[in-house]
Structure 1
Amino acid sequence: MELEKGVQRWIVDISKWNPSPDYFASVMSFLPQHEHSPITRFVKMEDRKRALVSRLLQYALVQQVLGIPYDEIIIRRTVEGKPYLEYDDKTGTFPNFNFNTSHDGNFVAIASEPVCLVGLDIANCSIPMKESVDKFIQNFLSYFSNLEWSDIMKADSSYDKLNRFYRYWCLKEAFVKAIGVGVGKRLDNVEFHHSDWNDIFVIVDGTEFNNWRFWLLEMGENHLVSIARGHPATATTNYRATLKQTEFGEKEYKLGLNLPSVHFMFRMVEDLLPVSIVACHHYMDRIDIVSEDGE
């Protein structure tokens, strides 16, 4: 089914990518100029790597799925900061192509959907040094419903308590990112229910959102990934204005809601670059080798 091509899950392990400053700059130069300052504003290289790879994933995925040349891709952001693609879908293949990125710890990832909203969140399940689990999670009490907090606190061990905390947190983040809400959204009214972390559903302000689906995955060592898929009509006003279609018949919407959620594909940073740039880097590397040999 052509629609399934719009369901993509890509992930990069940045711990395995250690570019020199010059190579980092050359990779960043392929992005539009307005994408540079959000990357270079970070002081630490690890943060710069996450910001760069997040943007590379967006451009590479759009190019591969929609066939839009890199230099014609236009990605903008709503006032709340949610990225969206500005394009004319002349084929009508994907009624609502949209994507979401996330990064934490070692991983940077992107997920896309052709019909439904998509939200993605990665959580590195760690706590600040010299801080206990109880003290750490107590800072976030106001973001959880009474039911969620009770479930977290009744865990048998500190490890399980932290794991439950991050599972709920990851799900909440994926949901609010899907609808396009900015930082600061209250989360205690977004209450998640599950059966041993399967059959996950959400209740918002007392109303069950039965036209949504959620996935919660373990990724690598000590990382969680959550994906939310839901109805475009649920999006914020600003993000809804960027979508091609927000109203669907039940049959049409269920087709998008029930599409298979594919496995994450691991990508190398070089996989995200235009072929011409990759070839150029290989050529320059070869020149350096020849120069060192003196031949």
Structure 2
Amino acid sequence: MERGVRRWAVDISEWQPSSQDFSFALSLLPIHNRTPITRFVQMEDRKRALVSRLLQYAIVHEVVGIPYEEIIIKRTLEGKPYLEPGKFVQELPNFNFNTSHHGDYVAVASEPLCLVGLDIVSPVIPWKETVTEFIQNFSSYFSSLEWDNIMTAGNCNDILVEFYRYWCLKEAYVKARGSGLTYGLDKVEFHHHSWTNISVKIDGKAMPEWRFWLSELGKGHLVSLARGHPSSATDSYKKTLKRSDFDEAEYHEGLHLPNVRFFMRNVEQLIQVLCKEVYCIPRIHNTVEIEEKCDEY
């Protein structure tokens, strides 16, 4: 199952496409994926949304081995992306993935059996607000223990980073379950030893079927990973999974797979992966133009 554990990240600040290059990269996606991207006004937001979708298709193609034209990625009512059930891969009994983007980074993580949640944060605050004013807006999402740890972390910068560490983990948990809701997050309480050996309690009950990791991705960006039992998925997301019940031994194997490091990729590499597949798809009419464009990458 280890080949199903992937962690990829892209630094979008290194990609400064011309309008033609951006349009070409966008054209590699299915038509229904393009409108949500072009709705964004700011180019940085468009880049994040585009790269997020390129990562999803690339990871499915490379890990599961599904030809690009056969990949169908949908979203639940809550917005959780999922691979439409199709070919069954025995060694990847419950392949699923999650993406996140903030600041300069866009990333994707995949798991072969467990639920996976991913979140990236860049510890910044809106201008015209102090750290205290900013984080007070979110105080209801933390347990009293977590809030005490945040407020006593040190100076203003220490407090901000501590806030984002907890927030990042809570987001990863929510995204893994596919809920898309932040209600009740004060009952999701994280414990750790210097931000290692991270565990969670829900309503005061320890949840050993979940594992978490928190690290720095680069340039001060924090990234968190959640790995949990498929039975914890929301009803709408559970319907998209191949299996939600596993015996203890099989689940223990999936839960304790190595959590691999993030592998940095660039947009050109993603384009090259998909370009090799796309230019021969019959629905693209000007194959000569596509082949020439692929050669540029």
Q: TM-score, normalised to structure 2's length?
A: 0.92
For each residue in 1:233-265, what CA deviation from the matched residue of structure 2 results, as whole angstroms up to 9, or x when unmatched? 001001011111111111100000000011101
Structure 2: segments with no counterpart, 5+ residues: 280-289
Contact 2:85–2:241 (Cα < 8 Å) also in 1: no
1:1-295 → structure 2 map (5 Å cutoff)? 3-273=1-271, 274-276=274-276, 280-281=292-293, 283=295
> Once structures 1 and 2 are overlaid, which stretch shifts more, 180-189 or 204-213?
180-189
Cα drift, residue 284 of structure 1: 6.3
1:293 matched to which residue of 2? none
RMSD value, Cα: 1.4
State the alpha-carbon separation in 2 of the partners of residues 284 and 141 from structure 1.
50
State the alpha-carbon separation in 2 of the partners of residues 282 and 212 from structure 1.
42
Cα drift, residue 21 of structure 1: 1.1
Q: TM-score, normalised to structure 1's length?
A: 0.93
1:171 is matched by which residue type in structure 2?
Answer: L
CA 1:65–1:134: 2 relative to 1, 3 Å: same
Cα drift, residue 115 of structure 1: 0.6
For each residue in 1:115-145, what CA deviation from the matched residue of structure 2 results, as whole angstroms up to 9, or x when unmatched? 1000000001111122211111111111111
State the alpha-carbon separation in 1 of the partners of residues 15 and 181 from structure 2.
29
For each residue in 1:184-210, what CA deviation from the matched residue of structure 2 results, as whole angstroms up to 9, or x when unmatched? 433111111111111111111222111
State the alpha-carbon separation in 2 of the partners of residues 90 and 203 from structure 1.
34
State the alpha-carbon separation in 2 of the partners of residues 249 and 211 from structure 1.
12
State the alpha-carbon separation in 2 of the partners of residues 168 and 265 from structure 1.
24
State the alpha-carbon separation in 1 of the partners of residues 243 and 180 from structure 2.
22
1:228 is matched by which residue type in structure 2?
Answer: A
State the alpha-carbon separation in 2 of the partners of residues 257 and 133 from structure 1.
36
3-state SS in 2 of match to 1:130: coil
1:85 is matched by which residue type in structure 2?
Answer: L
State the alpha-carbon separation in 1 of the partners of residues 149 and 295 from structure 2.
57
State the alpha-carbon separation in 2 of the partners of residues 231 and 117 from structure 1.
6
For each residue in 1:275-295, what CA deviation from the matched residue of structure 2 results, as whole angstroms up to 9, or x when unmatched? 43685325469xxxxxxxxxx
> Once structures 1 and 2 are overlaid, which stretch shifts more, 139-148 or 199-208?
199-208
3-state SS in 1 of match to 2:172: helix
State the alpha-carbon separation in 2 of the partners of residues 271 and 238 from structure 1.
33
For each residue in 1:162-200, what CA deviation from the matched residue of structure 2 results, as whole angstroms up to 9, or x when unmatched? 010000000000000000011443311111111111111
State the alpha-carbon separation in 2 of the partners of residues 178 and 107 from structure 1.
19
3-state SS in 2 of match to 1:188: helix
State the alpha-carbon separation in 2 of the partners of residues 284 and 92 from structure 1.
37
2:2 is matched by which residue type in structure 1?
Answer: E
State the alpha-carbon separation in 2 of the partners of residues 283 and 219 from structure 1.
31
CA 1:275–1:195: 2 relative to 1, 3 Å: same
3-state SS in 1 of match to 2:185: coil
3-state SS in 2 of match to 1:266: strand
2:284 matched to which residue of 1? none
3-state SS in 1 of match to 2:253: helix
2:282 matched to which residue of 1? none
Q: How many residues end up aligned between the 2 structures?
A: 283
State the alpha-carbon separation in 1 of the partners of residues 18 and 108 from structure 2.
25
Structure 1: segments with no counterpart, 5+ residues: 286-295
Contact 2:199–2:208 (Cα < 8 Å) also in 1: yes
3-state SS in 1 of match to 2:86: coil
